[in-house]
Amino acid sequence: MTPQLLVTIGVFAPLIAALIAGLSGRRIGNLASQAITTGALFLSCAIAWTAFHGVIWGDWPAKFTVHLLPFINIGDFQSNWSIRIDTLSAVMLVVVTSVSSLVHLYSWGYMAEDPSKPRFFAYLSLFTFAMLALVTAADFMQLFFGWEGVGLASYLLIGFWFHKPTANAASIKAFVVNRVGDFGFALGIMTVFWMFGTIQFAEIFPRVTEFATTGWFFAGHWFHAVDLACALLFVGAMGKSAQFFLHTWLPDAMEGPTPVSALIHAATMVTAGVYMVCLLSPMFEYAPVTKQIVTLVGAITALFAATVGLAQNDIKRVIAYSTCSQLGYMFFAAGVGAYQAAMFHLFTHAFFKALLFLGAGSVIHGMHHEQDMRKMGGLWKYLPVTYAVMTIGTLAITGFGIPGTDIGLAGFFSKDTIIEAAYAAGEHNPVAFFAFLVSLSAAGLTAFYSWRLSFMTFHGKAKWAHDDHAHADHAHGADDHASPAQIETHSEPLPDDHHDAHGHHGAHRPHESPLVMLVPLALLAVGAVFAGYAFVEAFVGEDRNAFWRGAIFNAPANQVLEHAHHSPTWLHWAPLVVSAIGFAAAWFYYIANEGMGARIAAKKGPLWSFLYNKWYFDEIYEATFVRATRLLGDLFWKVGDQKIIDGLGPDGVSAVSYDVGRRAGLLQTGYVYHYAFVMLLGVLGLLTFAVFQWQA
């Protein structure tokens, strides 16, 4: 079988499975729908790893494109449905299919009691196909198709439990916020077409230097066209990857089932923006202003999300803000020119973040649909496997490792490379130096909130409660996925040592998840441990040029990774030191002095309130954009439409006609003498007119 045919099967297998499960799920049943979609994903995963090996180390071409059929052909605007394979797309194929296949398998256990399994698995497979179409796009049009496809699929998955008002609101919020970013993305594509006269990557990238000085004066300023195009495209990345200002949808997206959080908001959809920036490195290398913007936005996002994660109590929302923060790392890495480091962290992050999300789902499953960490504690003895793998995930995200050696988990290799790259770029770039300072600060904050999650969930006093209602629900097989309405949402802070009136010695204690959920966790844990060590040399080491084979472009002046490899010794130890400080602080607050965090929260001080309310972004947006939009809508509706258009148009004509008809109807009395009198007046009028005419 040729490589071209093989990758075509790998890309379209999830789409075929989604169509079968979505259109025939009720006919073929739950088991068949699950088997078809999961089997298709494991097939795609096997093909992805084959392509990954074949392109980089095997006998496959270093890069090739499979042209399938015409897509949109209008004048010079030519777009064909194609599959582009190179090292960059091969890496993304591995990430997307590996995580998606394990999420499909995990969902067999997590969604066991849900009556809509065919629909759920169809949505998962549809999302995966859209993501595969995105990462294999050979032009901007197919990239935009996949971009919008994952947006649609995420809307369907976030609002999967549509009976929950909060899930509906979250799905709409994600859709609307992403449309804001996508508007900029579409303008960026238009700018690219205006500049190059084509949207084909293969035709654009070699010609970027020709347009490096192209631009125009506007409002007394010179705007470079490449900078403008990249800036607009980055706006789309900000929305899709939940960067500062357009981040508000990501935490609310946790309303979807936990497997959705792991698939969409940890490893695939939210990394699409990072992938896009790295794919367009030939353009971004000639857009210095936009690179500064990318660096600044990424750094601010990394710091912002890390601070907010300190005060959240929903186990999934803590991990969601962690995702937001790690995406910030990836973006400022790309902004300083270390695109390979950004992709390396994207690769390793997929394993340990999916592991943390699915581990959180295992905790929720074992806690009978409880998500509030303030109602957990002491779970390590009841969920030993979940505890072990989540500890591995925590060590990976905090970058645990010994500098100067090959001992370390995945995050140690990838995140430390980004920190070193930011330091190297910061010697001559103040924005990059700011990103470096943020990267160290965020590393300490990451360690604090990650270990806080572990300590509150698995250690300390058991704060989980079992009242009669919980017993009855669990006895009938209720779970967080059995009835969406049963899932509790906690908006008011509770003390960390909150005890239920019934105590914690109920008949139904927390339980470990089934094997079908634990196997994906174990496999992801292997990736979280070894992915960094196994691929560090290939992604960012001395062999990186042989690995990437031109899939990522660095201008001759961009030597940031080379300089990063010669960082001072103290810099190698700095991330470990700040992470150790974060761990010690979390241990002090939540183990050595258990309840101290609750007492701080109970005081509701200004700093705690600021972080707990997520820097008040939702409130600010509600007071400005939402209310202003509503007022503008009311103005157009009640004044413009109802009073002006309808009032002067159909409603006005109707009212005048009615009034004229009503008044004319008063003349129709039905009395003969009234009509005779009117006739007499008419005759007199005619005679008068005739007399005047005769005299004239």
Say how far apart CA 299 and CA 353 lie, in whole Å: 20
Return the structure tokens found at 46: 């096997």
Whether the per-residue pLDDT at 493 is higher than 70: the answer is no
Say how far apart CA 178 and CA 157 lie, in whole Å: 15
- Residue scoring higher pLDDT (648 or 38): 38
Tell me whether strands 77-85 and 64-74 are parallel, antiparallel or unpaired: antiparallel
Return the structure tokens found at 134: 């995105």
Give the model's confidence band at 489: pLDDT under 50 very low, under 70 low, under 90 confident, else very high. very low
The answer to pTM > 0.75 is yes
Give me the mean pLDDT over the 673-678 stretch. Answer: 83
Give the model's confidence band at 212: pLDDT under 50 very low, under 70 low, under 90 confident, else very high. confident
Say how far apart CA 549 and CA 542 lie, in whole Å: 13
Give me the mean pLDDT over the 255-275 stretch. Answer: 84
Q: What is the pLDDT of residue 491?
A: 35
Q: What integer best gives the mean pLDDT of the chain?
A: 88
DSSP string of 5-36, one letter each residue: HHHHHHHHHHHHHHHHHHHHHHHH-HHHHHHH
Question: pLDDT tens digits for 69-99?
Answer: 998 888 888 899 999 999 999 999 999 999 9
Whether the per-residue pLDDT at 267 is higher than 90: the answer is no
Q: What is the pLDDT of residue 21?
A: 95
Whether the per-residue pLDDT at 470 is higher than 80: the answer is no
Q: What is the pLDDT of residue 468?
A: 39
Give me the mean pLDDT over the 559-576 stretch. Answer: 93
Residue type at 34?
A: Q
Q: What is the pLDDT of residue 555?
A: 92
Give me the mean pLDDT over the 228-245 stretch. Answer: 93
Whether the per-residue pLDDT at 318 is higher than 50: the answer is yes
Say how far apart CA 150 and CA 133 lie, in whole Å: 10
- Determine contact, residues 445/308, Cβ cutoff 8 Å: no
Say how far apart CA 570 and CA 168 lie, in whole Å: 49
Beta bridge partners of 77: 74
Q: Which stretches of 152-199 are assigned E, i.e. beta strand?
A: none
Q: Exposed (0-12), middle (13-18) or buried (19+): which is 627, by Cβ within 10 Å?
A: exposed
Give the model's confidence band at 508: pLDDT under 50 very low, under 70 low, under 90 confident, else very high. low
Q: What is the pLDDT of residue 55?
A: 93
Return the structure tokens found at 673: 């003498």
Q: Which stretches of 207-325 are assigned E, i.e. beta strand?
A: 215-218, 221-224
Least confident of 342-346, 374-378, 504-508, 679-683: 504-508
The dihedrals phi and psi of 591, each to the nearest 5 degrees, come to -120, -60
